[in-house]
Amino acid sequence: MSGPLSGIVVLEVGHMLAGPYCGMLLADLGADVIKIEPPEGDLGRRVSPHAIGPHNAYFASLNRSKRSVVLDLSSPEGRSSLRGLAARAHALVANLRPAAIRKLGLTYEALKDVNPRLVCLALTGYGLEGGHAGRPAYDYVIQALTGVMAVTGEPGGPPAKTGYSAVDNSAGMMGAVALLSQIVEGRGGQIDVSLYDVMLSQLNYLAGAWLNAGERAQRMPRSAHPYIVPAQLFETRDGWLAVFVSHDEFWRRFCKEAGRPEWLEDARFATMAARRENRATVLAALEPLFRSDTTASWAARLAPLGVVAAPIETLEQALGSELARERDMIVEIGCAGGTIRAVGNPVKITGMRQEYRPPPLLGEHNAALLGERRAGGAGDRGIDAGPTGLAARILARDRRAIARAITAVENGTAEGGAISAELAAHRGHARVVGITGPPGCGKSTLVAALVKELIARGRRVAVVAVDPSSPFSGGALLGDRVRMAGIQAHEGVYIRSLASRGHHGGVSGATRRVVGLLDAAGFDYVLVETVGTGQSEVGVATIAGTRLVVCPPGLGDEVQTLKAGILEIADAFVVNKADLPGAERAELDLLSMLAVTAGGPKPPVFRTAAASGQGVSALAHWLEQREMPASRSH
């Protein structure tokens, strides 16, 4: 890449927005930005429901012109690879919680021995140190805590966030400035930029008014400026106009064009201070005036006078405007399977030829970058680039290999197809158990208890938690992470959440491919847990060899749900939370329904209190003894 930062190597570890935006700004200026991703990839790869070729639209908007390496930084091998890359880098951007930054060795203190001139930037919610450092933070929360939401919106209305991710974008820009300042100085070190600090600093003059004069920031009608009048939105005959009369000379020009020369002699109107003091009177005179003409007419009349005024355009109008085209702000980047259209680099440097590359595929540059390390004598074994090496590691139940392959097969990529084909001969041994039921029945707690029981019996168990409403895939869903914290590190257990939204093939297709891969990896059981009722059960019913329906102790309206289609797909029912009132009645209700159903043998009904382990052994014994129908994951 050409540009003023050509030759600067920046490592980026983070997800979603602030860190990736910081990295993209640097890449646009020519830096070689190496994005280090976990085996499942940046969360941003799965946020948007839209795709351009193999690229998620959200991810593509924040990660162009970078290279991607997959490293499991939780492993010694992954951290060793990171240190090798850091040895020849100029900077590292880490956009994670402070505890994760330290644990994964992403601080200057952890890396200075391999590169004392390395600049390490930590982009966190509340800073690396302090009582709030461990708290989770997202753009919304920072806007809430810094007063931004309180001063946004119309008076009398609810607090409101800005219409875009102001905190994350601002933090990314500030991070880039901080990082470059340290690189220019030529000295390594740790930089601490918090989203909270960045947003608080942007309230500069509003904060200054309170700190020095006790003036409270208030929401102003129609986005008005607190000191400058007129500076706000005005309704016109056919729309809205933003007007900003910054000083009295422009006010004089405006009054003459508007046919109100008498306002120049009116003491209430003549000066900025007077207009501020008489805001209500001034606006009462201006509002009918602006409604007398169209938006386009007002903009055309005021522009030649230097009076700042513009129509309120939609995002679509702005992206399609002549101004955006003139400024080269809408760019096209060729990629496999399509063309990415994106907002371009806002920094225009004389003599610089702007270049863009498509965003990287997950792990696209593993072989090249880790090969460069080996050539440099860093002594890293690297990560296999081809499907053959990856398949062998999956058969050995290498967690990193499984995670990488799941992402590939989940998204229906070419690599995923190759892996599935290569592993096809190894499938057909796992018992695939679908576990479903209404919210609140304790499915995740039951799954955790069942996993513990099965591994105590010497079984290897994989768990797939399917949430069709979520855009995120990755480790376990939040509830599962809490409940399964004591078992997910067990060498015979693998836990993965799976979201269907934005992925190739929806619930059934993505889940079927993932289950097939885990089957080939040699797990004795694959437990597929779905969130909620409805679409998920139908999908699982086509995949699982055995289907468990979990019921809460008080069935209530859930009886109708069971009658409406769940009943016939169940191979067994589990009344969970059996230590709570209503469990016995729920069991009786189930048995009554089953008694009137036509057909052969009735599904058994188990009672469990999964939190204490009660009844789980009997359920596991039934699964072990059951003649398992063939999995439908093939």
Report the range of poorest mean pLDDT among 143-152, 430-439, 556-565: 556-565
Q: What is residue 599's predicted lDDT score, i.e. its pLDDT?
A: 61
* 3-state secondary structure at position 584: helix
| pLDDT over threshold 60, residue 617 | yes
Q: What is residue 511's predicted lDDT score, i.e. its pLDDT?
A: 83
Long-range contacts of 265-272 (CB under 8 A, 24+ apart): 272/228, 272/229, 272/247, 272/248
For the residues 605-621, what does the mean pLDDT come to? 89
For the residues 85-108, what does the mean pLDDT come to? 94
Amino acid at 71: L
Rounded to whole angstroms, how far apart are CA atoms 440 and 411? 30
The Cβ of residue 578 has, within 10 Å, a number of other Cβ atoms equal to 20
Cβ burial of 175 (10 Å; 0-12, 13-18, 19+) is buried
For the residues 564-588, what does the mean pLDDT come to? 74
List all residues 6 or more positions away from 231 whose beta carbon is below 8 Å from its beta carbon. 224, 225, 243, 244, 245, 246
Sequence ranges of the domains in the chain: 9-202+335-343, 221-235+240-311, 428-625
Q: What is residue 381's predicted lDDT score, i.e. its pLDDT?
A: 33
| pLDDT over threshold 90, residue 314 | yes
Query: Same topology for domains 221-235+240-311 and 428-625, yes or no?
Result: no
Instruction: Give residue 318's pLDDT band: very low, low, confident or very high (50, 70, 90).
Output: very high
Helical (H) or strand (E) element with 526: strand 525-530
The mean predicted confidence, pLDDT, of the chain is 84
Q: What is the DSSP string of 602-613?
A: PPPEEE-BTTTT
Instruction: Give residue 422's pLDDT band: very low, low, confident or very high (50, 70, 90).
Output: confident
Rounded to whole angstroms, how far apart are CA atoms 407 and 321? 38
Amino acid at 558: E
The CA–CA distances, whole Å, from 623 to 237, 523, 627 equal: 72, 15, 8
Q: What is residue 531's predicted lDDT score, i.e. its pLDDT?
A: 63
For the residues 285-312, what does the mean pLDDT come to? 95
Instruction: Give residue 267's pLDDT band: very low, low, confident or very high (50, 70, 90).
Output: very high
- Which CATH class for the 221-235+240-311 domain? alpha beta
| pLDDT over threshold 50, residue 563 | no
- Residues 613-633 as b or e (16 or more Cβ within 10 Å = b): ebbbeebbeebeeeebeebbb
Residues 428-625: name the CATH superfamily: P-loop containing nucleotide triphosphate hydrolases (3.40.50.300)
Rounded to whole angstroms, how far apart are CA atoms 401 and 407? 10
| pLDDT over threshold 80, residue 372 | no
For the residues 593-613, what does the mean pLDDT come to? 75
| pLDDT over threshold 50, residue 380 | no
pLDDT in tens, 161-187: 999 899 999 999 999 999 999 988 888
Asked: is 9-202+335-343 a CATH 3.40.50.10540 domain? The reply is: yes
For the residues 531-544, what does the mean pLDDT come to? 59
Place of tokens 């991810």: 59
**pTM (2 d.p.):** 0.62
> Do the beta carbons of residue 338 and residue 3 sit within 8 Å?
no
Q: State both tokens at 87.
A: 């040895």
Q: State both tokens at 344.
A: 């371009």
Rounded to whole angstroms, how far apart are CA atoms 145 and 126? 11
For the residues 238-261, what does the mean pLDDT come to? 95
Rounded to whole angstroms, how far apart are CA atoms 593 and 534? 19
| pLDDT over threshold 50, residue 632 | no
pLDDT in tens, 21-52: 999 999 999 999 999 999 989 999 988 889 89
The CA–CA distances, whole Å, from 597 to 386, 542, 601, 628 equal: 52, 22, 10, 23
Q: What is residue 598's predicted lDDT score, i.e. its pLDDT?
A: 55
How close are the terminal C-alpha atoms of the chain, in Å? 45
